[in-house]
Each structure stands twice: as structure tokens, then as C-alpha cells.
Chain A
């Protein structure tokens, strides 16, 4: 069970509606899917159980500062001239919501008032970075040991054993269905990138489903970085024919003025769609699960019996969505790798190589 901080009811003319829901669902959801300076697990009788992470700040006026996030005391105190904002602080001091949001670190002067003239750059090791590091270490360790096992001959001369039994079908599937089909003869150069992207997205998504961990894949910066990497890989693999087809598409003369801007836009929309697709899929899954759990507390605030009564129903729904999210994690990782391979294949010769790839696949099937 998750315990949440219940925020103060706002004073207003329609107090009846406000009293019914002292819990602010959208703030709670945003707090859980955003990056943060500590791993927060639950709140018990007003005390928060959390793992604080290092806060690393740089200000052109003040220089570097690094300390543990526990000094912030979950937004209640300022430390070393900095303060992390919370929803209550923003509401109490009526700060401009466009510039100040929960989780932002701002500089405060000696009196404790926010100093807007001091720019703060937040380089903290937050939840997302810690989880990405854990995933990276896990992947390097598991894949490294599996690769060493293959080097000594286990799984090559004899049947695969242990973790090889899990990794080998996935890698063979990606090599055959994603690499060879889309990239033809040149698939070997791209397999490391495709496999890395697939496993990194998959393991981060699966770890992110565990309660208490961070929402890494549902972060636009994470998917944006992967999309930019895919864009770079696609651009590296382009050939002369690709650019000739962009500026001179093989379409009738009347359609050419329309097709050329479309083709040029298409260079950028393909990685952009990759980014948005992965981001929106993962974040929508997290939001749905969080909404069901928060609904229990919303009902509980209205009527304690109602909260307890509806909770089994909502928890079952949340478990059902969890199972769907497991499937979505696999599918989205596969789709990202597959579409990157498709776009790289398109970039090779501008589409003329498509027949070659399929011929190889059907030849292999017949043999």
C-alpha cells in the first residue's frame, strides 16, 4: 500500500466540493512520474521513508555546490542557499506556476526569499540517473558473463545453459526478424546498437514497473536521447541514392513540389515519432496505474468505508493494467529497435534494397 502526503484543502467559495477531495490527484501523479532528488517510498505518521541522493548544483554567481538531498528535508528547509520547491511552497508564496514547479531547485538569499537573479543549473544525480546506472551495470554484468560463457564453448559446441537460455532466443529473434530482414547483408554492424537499445529500453521499463522505482522510460529526455542516437545512426548509414531520392523523388513532375518538402520533413519526423511513441506509451501506463491507486484515496477521503470497499476492485484493475504494461514494455522495446532498423534499411539505398532483404529471408525459409 502506498501512503501519500495529503495536501491542504484550498479555501474557496465552493468549499463543499473542496472538502470532498483534499487529495490533488494531478499533483501526486506528476510528483511520481517526474524525476526527483530522492527515492521516496512511503509516509508513515508524517515521517517519510526515502533514500536521499546527491544534489549537485552549479551557479555562475555562486559556483559549485554538492550535498545530500536529505538536507532539503523534502522541501521544508533551505540549505547552503538553495531550496527545492514543493506544491505547498508554491501555493503559499503564490509563485508563478509557469516558472516554478515542484521539484525545481532555486537559489534563496539569506532571508530565505527566492533570489531570481541567481541562475541555478541542476546536475544532480536524481532517481532516473541512479536507475539507469543500475540497469547499465546489470546489463553489462549479465551480458558480459553470458558472452564469456559463449567464448569458452558452452552453448556453441554444447547446448546453451543457464542465462544463455533466456538471452539466446531473444538475441536470435532480433538478429533474424529485425536485423537480417531490414538490413540485409550489413546487419552485423548494426546489431550491437539494436540489441543495446532493445535491452536498455526493456530492462528500464520493467524495473520502472516495480513500486518505488523511477519512471525512466516515460521521461522525454531519455527517449529523446535514444531518438537522437537513432537519428545519428540513420544519418551515418545514408548513401548517395538516399539523398538523390530526397531532393528528386521518383514521382510525376506535378507532384514533385509537394513531395520534396514532405521528404525533407520526413527525415526528422521519423526519429521524432520514435521518441514520442515510446515516451507516450510508457508514461500513459504509469499514469493509469497511479490514477487507480490515487482513486482509492480520493474515495477514502470522501468516506472511509467507501475507500476500503472500492480498494480491492481498484487494486485488481491496477494489477490488470500492470500485466498489460509488462506486455507494452516488451512491445515498445521491440518496436523501437525494429523501426530503427527499418529506417536504417530505408537509408541504405533509398528503398531499392528492400527486394534483396526479402529474397534472402524467403530463400532461407525454403532451404
Chain B
């Protein structure tokens, strides 16, 4: 009951900030997994390091793009 009143007290822009925070968690987990896979691949086969690096950056950019979509939505909530 008190949690509900606390949640209702937050002004609208505050929810945008919370949403952007969740987006940051998603981006961190996603890009962390991409980095983990890339580093493990390089550890197994250092000669493929260039190919793996190119694919890692590509995959990280795609994941970050989705996370930034959510961050932009949070930004819109804050500035409107």
C-alpha cells in the first residue's frame, strides 16, 4: 500500500529516468555477453582476432542501438 503511494508520488519525468536506467542494464548485459564471446574466441584462436573484432563491434552496435531506442524514449519522457 505504501509502495503504491510512493510510486504514484513520482512525477511523470521520473519514470522516464527509471526506464532509461533499465535500458542501461539491458545494454550492459547484452554487450557484456558479446564481449565475453569475442574474448573467449580470441583466446581459443588468436589468428582470428581481426575477424572476431569486426564481428564483435558489429554485434555490439546492434545491441546498443536497441538499448538506445529505449534511452531515447526515456529522454522524451523527461523533456516533455
Q: Which residues of A contact B (CB under 8 A)?
A: 26, 30, 177, 273-274, 276-277, 279-281, 284, 331-332, 334-335, 338-339, 342
Contacts and interface: CB of A to CB of B under 8 A. Distances in A.
Contacts of B71: 280, 284
Interface stretch (B2-10, B38-46, B62-70): B62-70
A188 B64 CA distance: 30
A96 B71 CA distance: 26
B69 A281 contact: no
Nearest to B67: A280
Chain B interface main SS type: helix
Contacts of B78: 26
Contacts of B58: 335, 338-339, 342
A277 B64 contact: yes
B61 interface: yes
B79 A277 contact: no
Given A30-B79, A284-B71, A276 B54 contact: no
Given A277-B61, A332-B61, 17 more contacts: A30-B79, A273-B66, A273-B69, A276-B65, A276-B68, A277-B65, A277-B68, A277-B69, A281-B64, A281-B68, A284-B71, A334-B57, A335-B57, A335-B58, A335-B61, A338-B61, A339-B62
A281 B27 CA distance: 12
A146 B46 CA distance: 36
B33 to A, nearest CB: 18
23 contacts: A26-B79, A30-B79, A273-B62, A273-B69, A274-B65, A276-B68, A276-B69, A277-B61, A277-B64, A277-B68, A277-B69, A280-B72, A280-B75, A281-B68, A284-B68, A284-B71, A331-B57, A331-B61, A334-B57, A335-B58, A338-B58, A338-B61, A339-B61
